Structure formats: structure tokens, C-alpha cells
Amino acid sequence: MSEETEIAIKQHLAAQELTAAFTLAVRAYGPNLQRLIASLVRESGAANEVYSTTLLNIWRGIGGYTGAGSFRGWMRTIARNAANRHHATAWERDVERGELTDVQQPPPRSPTPRWKHSDQRRSVRALFDRLAPLDRALMVAHVDWRWTWEEVGQHLGMSSGACRTRFTRTKERLKRMAQGELQSGIDE
């Protein structure tokens, strides 16, 4: 059934029938995704939330699926990334509420006041927005979503080595842009 389902999904995608592809994928692989997420998240309420987020992310990204790997594997990757993001944000919420013991809490990130961080974020975001769309997608997929180079390459239609090289060059470009902004701020 899985191979036939994969073929049918890819045929729907080739015909730009995204709703049909999504519906078929959720019917065929939804229960498997729910079990995967339940094993990763453990709390049923949170698992349902992560499952909903996963389906939303699949729907948003379905047009960008390149067909390089199995659709089921692509969906599972999105589910694992959603579970990882849930754990990261849940941990941050617990830290903010003081629900973790001193042993579990990391050292403070920075003695810099929070308002200065928000200015830094805006500056970095402004620089990030000046990058080419492909470079932004590459950075988001690898840094924010924690995709492997193979997953990034598969999603963007590039080899993993090309992704790694482009990522390194993009980081250097961002660094030069930031240094230029810093220098212009000092000159003013």
C-alpha cells in the first residue's frame, strides 16, 4: 500500500492537485504520524497540538516537496521538527515560570538587558531580510528547523555539499553586512 500511496501522492502533486495529495497523505500516514508524535511528546494534549502544527506545516510546505525522497519520510521529518520545537519552547516556558530546579536550569544567557536584545534582533532580522530568498530558506531550514544537509538539499533541490557551501558563504556575507552596519553606526 505504501508504494502505491507514494505514487498516487506524487501524481496528484505533479498535476498540482495539492488538496487531493494532502488528503490522501493524511489518510494514509496520519495514524503513523500520530504514533510518532505521541512517542516523542508523551503528553496527549501536547501531542495533539504538535500533530495539528505538523499538519499545518505539511499543508504549507506541500507545494515545495521536490519528490527526492518518500513523501512519508518528508512528513515524518516535519513531525520530528515540530516535536523538537515543542520541546524547546516548553523548556523555555518552564524556565520562565521557574518550574525547573537550579540543577536543570542553564546559566543566564547574558547580563545584557532584554531591551537591548530586541534591538539586536531587529538589526539581525533586517540584515537577514536583505538576503536572497534561497539563502534565507537555506538558513531557516538548517538553523531554525535543524534539518540535516541532506534534508535541506532534498527540499531545495541541491546537493548537500552545495547547501553546506552556500550556507558558509551566506554566513560570511551576513557577517560582512553586520560589520558594515556596525562600522556605519560608529561613523555616525
Classify residue 80 as left (phi > 0), alpha (psi -120 to 50) or beta. alpha
Q: To which residue does cell 518528508 refer?
A: 74
Residue 161 has pLDDT above 80, yes or no: yes
Distance between CA atoms of residues 169 and 174, nearest Å: 9
Mean pLDDT over each residue of the chain, to the nearest integer: 81
For residue 183, what pLDDT band results from cuts at 50, 70 and 90? confident
Q: Where are the chain's structural domains?
A: 1-107, 115-188
Residue 34 has pLDDT above 80, yes or no: yes
Phi/psi at 102 (nearest 5 deg)? -60, -35
User: What is the pLDDT at residue 102?
Assistant: 47
HSE, CB side, 13 Å, CA atoms: give it for residue 80: 10
Classify domain 115-188 at the CATH topology level: Arc Repressor Mutant, subunit A (1.10.10)
Q: Cα–Cα–Cα angle for 139, 76, 132, nearest 5°?
A: 20
Q: For residues 130-149, give the mean pLDDT.
A: 85
Q: Which CATH number fits domain 1-107: 1.10.540.10, 1.10.1740.10, 3.30.390.10, 3.90.550.40?
A: 1.10.1740.10
Find out whether 41 and 52 touch, Cβ atoms under 8 Å.
no
pLDDT digits (tens, 9 = 90+) for 80-113: 988 888 877 765 555 555 554 444 545 555 666 5
Residue 185 has pLDDT above 70, yes or no: no
User: What is the pLDDT at residue 132?
Assistant: 86
